């Protein structure tokens, strides 16, 4: 199961979470290198990847022997051209039972020449920037009013972060002036059928303020433009 694919070095770098591997594909569709966790690669269970300059970064999980809880989370750096492991950028270890990853999606941030990522727990979430020297710097911390509104997915852009909570609401937080949050989207029902609820599952956004989310109610991909208009860009036939 592919969890992320990003353009890099005239090709694609693909995180294959189902097969626990990372694959570099060239412009002709051929594999330049394959990194597999079962064959000595430095990662265990890759969640996400992002590219900046000559490096790509991967968020990685290490599971406890029970297979139900997470022992550690790391962000790793690799060379784009060769796939060679470079460094562990940051890592956290969980002393208590942790079933949900703390690290949110990685996002390339070209204007800052680095990679942004989100770290979250039951108290709130924090946006970090990995600079070109491998340093990790905090950009903003958002504290939850209560643990029941914890966010489940994030998309970081140059100036802000979009956060999707468990109810399907999408919020925007500015990373430049630290202004108050803005509600981008609130899920709604289009009828009496529960399957018609428009409920986001994951979110991504571009630098122009367009937000895409996968809707598990209508099995479609929806877009919210900067004016708040919602449109379906893909509808499953299944």
Domain ranges in the chain are: 2-173
Provide the 10 A C-beta neighbour count for residue 14.
19
The residue that leads in pLDDT, 113 or 61, is 61
Q: Please compute Rg for the chain using Cα positions.
A: 18
Span 142-149, mean pLDDT? 74
Strands 21-25 and 45-52: unpaired
Look at residue 168 in the predicted model and tell me its pLDDT. 83
Look at residue 33 in the predicted model and tell me its pLDDT. 93
Span 63-74, mean pLDDT? 83
> What's the rounded Cα separation, in Å, for the pair 45 and 35?
12
Span 186-213, mean pLDDT? 73
Look at residue 148 in the predicted model and tell me its pLDDT. 62
> What's the rounded Cα separation, in Å, for the pair 55 and 50?
9
For the sheet with 85-93, list strands across it.
45-52, 55-63, 70-79, 85-93
**pLDDT at 238 > cutoff 60:** no
- Looking at 48-62, 146-160, 169-183, which range is the least confident one? 146-160
Q: Which residue is associated with the tokens 């209508």?
A: 218
Look at residue 125 in the predicted model and tell me its pLDDT. 87
Q: Is the pTM of this model over 0.85?
A: no
**pLDDT at 92 > cutoff 90:** no
- CATH class of this structure's domain 2-173: mainly beta
**pLDDT at 220 > cutoff 80:** no
Under 8 Å CB-to-CB from 166, ≥6 apart: which residues?
148, 149, 150, 151, 152
């Amino acid at each position: 199961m592919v969890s992320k694919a990003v353009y890099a070095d005239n090709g694609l770098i693909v995180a294959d979470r189902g097969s626990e591997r990372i694959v570099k594909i060239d412009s002709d569709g051929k594999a330049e290198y394959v990194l597999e966790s079962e064959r000595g690669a430095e990662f265990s269970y890759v969640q996400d990847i992002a590219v900046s300059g000559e490096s790509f970064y991967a968020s990685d999980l290490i599971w406890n022997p029970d297979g139900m809880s997470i022992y550690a989370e790391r962000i790793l750096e690799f060379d784009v051209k060769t796939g060679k492991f470079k460094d562990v950028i940051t890592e956290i270890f969980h002393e208590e039972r942790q079933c949900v990853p703390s690290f949110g999606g990685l996002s390339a941030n070209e204007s800052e020449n680095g990679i942004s990522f989100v770290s979250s727990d039951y108290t709130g979430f924090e946006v970090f920037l990995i600079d070109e020297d491998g340093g990790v710097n905090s950009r903003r911390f958002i504290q939850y009013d209560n643990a029941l509104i914890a966010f489940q997915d994030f998309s970081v852009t140059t100036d802000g972060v979009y956060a999707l909570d468990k109810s399907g609401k999408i919020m925007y937080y500015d990373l430049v002036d630290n202004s108050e949050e803005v509600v981008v989207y609130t899920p709604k029902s289009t009828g009496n059928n529960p399957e018609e609820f428009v409920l986001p599952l994951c979110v991504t956004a571009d630098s122009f303020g367009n937000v895409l989310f996968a809707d598990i109610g209508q099995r479609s991909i929806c877009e919210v433009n900067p004016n708040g208009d919602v449109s379906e860009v893909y509808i499953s036939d299944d």
